[in-house]
A and B are shown apart, each in its own frame.
Chain A
Amino acid sequence: MHLGESTRECEYSQISTRSSTPMETPYKKKTQKKRKWETFPGRNKFYCDGRIMMAKQTGVFYLTLVLILVTCGLFFTFDCWFLAEQLTPIIPVIGGVLFLFVIGTLLRTSFSDPGVLPRATPDEAADLERQIDVANGSTGYRPPPRTKEVVINGQTVKLKYCFTCKIFRPPRASHCSLCDNCVERFDHHCPWVGNCVGKRNYRFFYMFILSLSFLTVFIFAFVITHIILNSQRIGFLSALKDSPASVLEVVVCFFSVWSIVGLSGFHTYLISSNQTTNEDIKGSWSSKRSKDNYNPYSYGNIFTNCCAALCGPLPPSLIDRRGFIQSDAPQLAPPTNGIPMYGSTQSQQSHMCDQDQCIQSTKFVLQVATTPLLQQQSSEPVILTPENGASIPGRTSLALGGPCTSLPMGQPTPPASTPSLSCHEATDLLPVHGHPHNHSHPLQEQVAHHHFLTPEEVPSPPGMLHCGSPLGHSHTMQGSFYNPASQDSLHEDSVRGLVKLSSV
């Protein structure tokens, strides 16, 4: 008890001695807008502020890159001169083009989002659980793995429930255990490219292995030619001594050719029959399973299948990596004793500075416990951040003396779970101002991303959402703390500190 009190006092003194305006310094740091990739739940690595997305283990990818660069480097340095002189200068040109294409497609495969499915929001997950419970009859024991059957083009396909992502996986999607994501049209996880191969990057992957097989064969053939032509002049052993790099190239290419060309052939077959590696390995559509078994996704002819896989429309990324984390969507209002629950704190028109927002939000939340009628912001599940800087329909009356942002008490993120979050959430409204700027950004990715809201990425204890009583309880708790507090900013900081402590 005594210790607790002294700790509390330390909290007081810590806050008050930071600076003359204690809210500014800490919160200025925290107003650094956090992008969604920073709280991405999967096991991916992000680079360049979320533009590049890769798997966790990237060692083999670097090996691939080194092998390609070294082999091509040696080829251009040692063999091309001879070949350009003796045969034709077109050889290095073609080699160069192939090399650039290989590197381009490799990087594109490795760095892009393979088609990751974002995890379900808590509301969605709860809704699904409810439906499953109803279906299962909620028996005492843990129900068996959940599946849903759907008939696609005459074939019965089982959709499995993913316990990690809390969704029923769409057909052809699979959960990658290495990346811990569900990926649409999951082909396989390729360590050589350091990423999953799925719906969005399959065509790049195919182009990569196809061009790499051409490049490998090209280099192999011309290095052999070089050695042969040279040995005709100066003898075989001398030729080898003359260009030792060629020997290394031949060795690398020889072993690569078998694997790469084989892989290209295999994937050409997969594309023409519109199957994924996953399906082929499992024999999902094999006629050996049953006579009536056929691939329901195939378009019937090879040409259409190829076109669809390689030239079809490129679906957008469903995970908004570079979007800013906004406050959450409105939560379901559990039955309480009259204390209204608040949801989103999003506001495009909030003009308050961080400090005021924090003070206001703390005051606001605590006042909730005592007074039902308060200024609030609308519950806005969608960041309606259109390019025209818009009129948000009906739901938002953001201009209400606007400044009061509701501390996300009713939201999955408890304000005190991470001390920075309480005001971080409120101050996240400021980045919204940046949205109009972002909208004018030429990169089309930005435009699509601003429609996204992924509240599930905000760290949250799921329990907070579903039970009404803890939330009501926490409100009452704070109410009792708040009453003695004054308007004084020092006291407000203290109150905030109390709020944090009480919620811990």
Chain B
Amino acid sequence: MAETHSLQDFQRPAVSSKVFIQRDYSSGTICKFQTKFPSELESRLDKQQFEETIQTLNNLYAEAEKLGGSSYLEGCLACLTAYTVFLCMETHYEKVLKKIDRYIKDQNEKIYAPRGLLLTDPIERGLRVVEITIFEDRNIGSGR
């Protein structure tokens, strides 16, 4: 798909607008994004797909921040080794961040890119927002 674009057009699709999905703090300080469907995406995306993406992201972040046996163990081990263990090992949070990265790429490939959208990993925006870039719809040939 990328190839056909490059062969057909020399003109890159310009960025038409960006939508920012803000954080949802109703459950406290945990990382959670609002699932409210933004109106700008109505023409491009199903509400259900969007909600599913955001919900999955929220679940993944919840998994990263979960307090449980394994995270306590990791914390205690780290404390005992004066935190030097993190020089060799990834923290649980970082492992989940990688998972999130893969998920976002996957979503972009399968759902968002075909619709002229692009999800930005929230970690690149300091976990403040999920940025969705809307590209101009070249096919319609509308004005810029």
B28 near A159 with CB under 8 A, answer no
B91 near A444 with CB under 8 A, answer yes
Q: Which of A167, A296, A395 contacts B2 (CB 8 A)?
A: A395
Q: Report whether over half of chain B's contact residues are helix, strand or loop; otherwise say mixed.
A: mixed
B76 near A311 with CB under 8 A, answer yes
**B129 interfacial contact with A, CB 8 Å:** yes
**A353 interfacial contact with B, CB 8 Å:** no
**B105 interfacial contact with A, CB 8 Å:** yes
A330 near B67 with CB under 8 A, answer no
Measured between beta carbons, the chain B residues less than 8 angstroms from A314 are 75, 78, 86, 91, 93
Interface size class of B (residues with CB under 8 A): 35 or more
State how many angstroms separate the Cβ of B134 from the closest Cβ of chain A.
10
**Known contacts A170-B23, A312-B75; A343 and B15 CB within 8 A of each other:** yes
B10 near A376 with CB under 8 A, answer yes
Q: Kindly report which residue of chain A lies nearest to residue B100, judged by CB atoms.
A: A451
A394 near B108 with CB under 8 A, answer yes
Q: Which of B11, B98, B131 contacts A373 (CB 8 A)?
A: B11
Measured between beta carbons, the chain B residues less than 8 angstroms from A172 are 29
Within 251-266 of A, Cβ neighbours of B (below 8 Å) are at none
Measured between beta carbons, the chain A residues less than 8 angstroms from B124 are 382-383, 451-454
Q: Report whether over half of chain A's contact residues are helix, strand or loop; otherwise say mixed.
A: loop
State how many angstroms separate the Cβ of B81 from the closest Cβ of chain A.
10
Measured between beta carbons, the chain B residues less than 8 angstroms from A370 are none
B109 near A393 with CB under 8 A, answer yes
The segment from B42-50, B52-60, B114-122 found at the interface with A is: B114-122
**A443 interfacial contact with B, CB 8 Å:** yes
**B140 interfacial contact with A, CB 8 Å:** no
Measured between beta carbons, the chain B residues less than 8 angstroms from A311 are 71-72, 74-76, 79
**Known contacts A311-B75, A314-B93; A296 and B114 CB within 8 A of each other:** no
Measured between beta carbons, the chain B residues less than 8 angstroms from A393 are 2, 105, 108-109, 113
Measured between beta carbons, the chain B residues less than 8 angstroms from A382 are 118, 120-121, 124
Measured between beta carbons, the chain B residues less than 8 angstroms from A381 are 118, 120, 131, 133
**A157 interfacial contact with B, CB 8 Å:** yes
**Known contacts A312-B75, A313-B92, A382-B120; A394 and B144 CB within 8 A of each other:** no
State how many angstroms separate the Cβ of B74 from the closest Cβ of chain A.
7
Q: How many angstroms from the CA of A381 to the CA of B143 in the assembled complex? A: 23
For A184, A318, A338, A372, which residue has the most chain B Cβ atoms within 10 angstroms? A318
Q: Kindly report which residue of chain A lies nearest to residue B82, judged by CB atoms.
A: A104
Q: How many angstroms from the CA of A311 to the CA of B6 in the assembled complex? A: 50
A171 near B29 with CB under 8 A, answer yes
Within 1-56 of B, Cβ neighbours of A (below 8 Å) are at 1-3, 5-6, 10-18, 20, 22-23, 25-29
Within 334-368 of A, Cβ neighbours of B (below 8 Å) are at 335-336, 338, 340-343
Measured between beta carbons, the chain B residues less than 8 angstroms from A127 are 18, 20
Q: Which of B23, B25, B113, B127 contacts A395 (CB 8 A)?
A: B113
Q: How many angstroms from the CA of A366 to the CA of B37 in the assembled complex? A: 40
A124 near B129 with CB under 8 A, answer yes
B2 near A397 with CB under 8 A, answer yes
State how many angstroms separate the Cβ of B75 from the closest Cβ of chain A.
3
The segment from A58-66, A145-153, A213-221, A492-500 found at the interface with B is: A145-153
**A271 interfacial contact with B, CB 8 Å:** no
Q: How many angstroms from the CA of A115 to the CA of B108 in the assembled complex? A: 29
B101 near A451 with CB under 8 A, answer yes
B27 near A152 with CB under 8 A, answer yes
**Known contacts A376-B10, A381-B131; A386 and B105 CB within 8 A of each other:** yes
Q: Which of B5, B71, B136, B144 contacts A336 (CB 8 A)?
A: B144
State how many angstroms separate the Cβ of A198 from the closest Cβ of chain B.
12
State how many angstroms separate the Cβ of A412 from the closest Cβ of chain B.
14
Measured between beta carbons, the chain B residues less than 8 angstroms from A336 are 144
Q: Which of B12, B23, B126 contacts A377 (CB 8 A)?
A: B12
Q: How many angstroms from the CA of A392 to the CA of B109 in the assembled complex? A: 8
State how many angstroms separate the Cβ of A158 from the closest Cβ of chain B.
11
* 4 additional A-B residue pairs with CB within 8 Å, beyond A313-B75, A444-B91: A104-B83, A318-B123, A381-B120, A394-B109
The 8 A-B residue pairs with the shortest CB-CB distance, nearest first, are A311-B75, A394-B113, A397-B6, A333-B14, A118-B126, A393-B109, A318-B126, A330-B15
Q: Which residues of B contact A (CB under 8 A)?
A: 1-3, 5-6, 10-18, 20, 22-23, 25-29, 64-67, 71-72, 74-76, 78-79, 82-83, 86-94, 97-98, 101-102, 105, 108-109, 113-114, 118, 120-121, 123-129, 131, 133, 135-136, 143-144
